[in-house]
Amino acid sequence: MKYRRLGRNGPQVSAAGMGRGSQPIRFGDPLETEFNAAIRLALDLGVNFFDSSDAYWGGRHEVLLGRALKAQRNQALIATKFGNIDLPDGKKGTNGHPEYVAACCEASLRRLGVDVIDLYYLHRVDPNVPIEETIGAMAQLISQGKVRFIGICEAGSKTLRRACREHPVTVLQTEYSLWFREVELDILPTCRELGVGYVAYAPLGRGLLTGNIKSVDDLPPGDRRRNNPRFKPENLARNVGLVRELESIAVRNQVAPAQVALAWVLAQGEDIVPIPGTSHARNLEQNAAAVELRLSADDLGHLSQVFAIGAGAGERYPAHVLKGVGI
């Protein structure tokens, strides 16, 4: 495993981390055994960066991750988040009030079973609270020894600049993959100017870039991706066509399409750390091996051309969700 530094002054982490995975696991579920095996294998492979949130699986992900890492806590860097909330009407909301920051941190520490959170993110920017107030409260957690580093998810460049003026922000996390490259226009350059690291979630395009999704029927009933514009039948055919170019490069390199997609992201800069989401041991070896994959300049250039900004069909989120990102 290779390692990269998060931001100008952040910790070193494995070049590929481990996201939460898309399949919710309940306490006592047989899948918990598989989840635990995946965590153990990740550590054996040198993966030391684990991403969570109080919003994942109703807080269960933090509990399960904490249990799985308990015996090897000193080998892991745990990242978790707050501020992405469920409203009484079933819609999503945000909360960045300082008192909420402190309460969420305490709750996450308990669920994870740890004394300190290595990287604590604001999951979504609260448009009703000045970012300086939220970041100031997060900075207090550092001074109290409850958090080591802080980050922001899905923030716009202006918000990131304001946040960094209040306290150094170690990392910005948002989506980045061959399928979604718009961050190259503004977000990535701003991060690099400010010395903020970049964590790329959904680097496999929510499964689209694995080559395993050819039609909507390949998604399980009730899968939330069925509501995602890029997976709508009228868009999916075009997107699958782009993936065929990725698959041809994978065949030529004798690797899986997912490994090519991850290798492309890793090649975009040493300051980028992708966190492919999986709860299954069988995917981890493949993801870890992608760190060692070096694509030729021709392959990298061809992929960048095929998956140019705007080449794919459909937004990455439904319209009402997009309103809450990039603030």
3-state class of 3 per DSSP? strand
Sheet holding 272-274, edge to edge: 49-51, 77-82, 117-122, 147-153, 171-175, 197-201, 272-274
The span from the CA of 3 to the CA of 96, in Å, is 32
Picking from 128, 124, 131, 24, the residue whose alpha carbon sits closest to that of residue 84 is 124
- Residue 74, number of CB atoms within 10 A of its CB: 6
* Residue 89 backbone dihedrals phi, psi, to 5 degrees: -85, 5
Looking at 3, 56, 201, 317, which residue is catalytic?
A: 56
Looking only at the bridges linking them, the beta strands covering 197-201 and 171-175 are parallel
Looking only at the bridges linking them, the beta strands covering 92-94 and 84-86 are antiparallel
The span from the CA of 29 to the CA of 24, in Å, is 10
213 contacts 219 by C-beta, under 8 angstroms: yes
**Axis-axis angle for helices 131-143, 157-166 (nearest 10):** 40
Single-letter code of the amino acid located at 137 = A
Composition of the chain by helix, strand, coil, percent to 5: 45, 15, 35
As a whole number of angstroms, the longest Cα–Cα distance in the chain is 54
Is 121 noted as a catalytic residue in this protein?
no
Task: Say which residue the tokens 């990287």 belong to.
Answer: 119
> Where does the chain show beta strands of DSSP type E?
3-5, 12-14, 49-51, 77-82, 84-86, 92-94, 117-122, 147-153, 171-175, 197-201, 272-274
Active site residues: 56
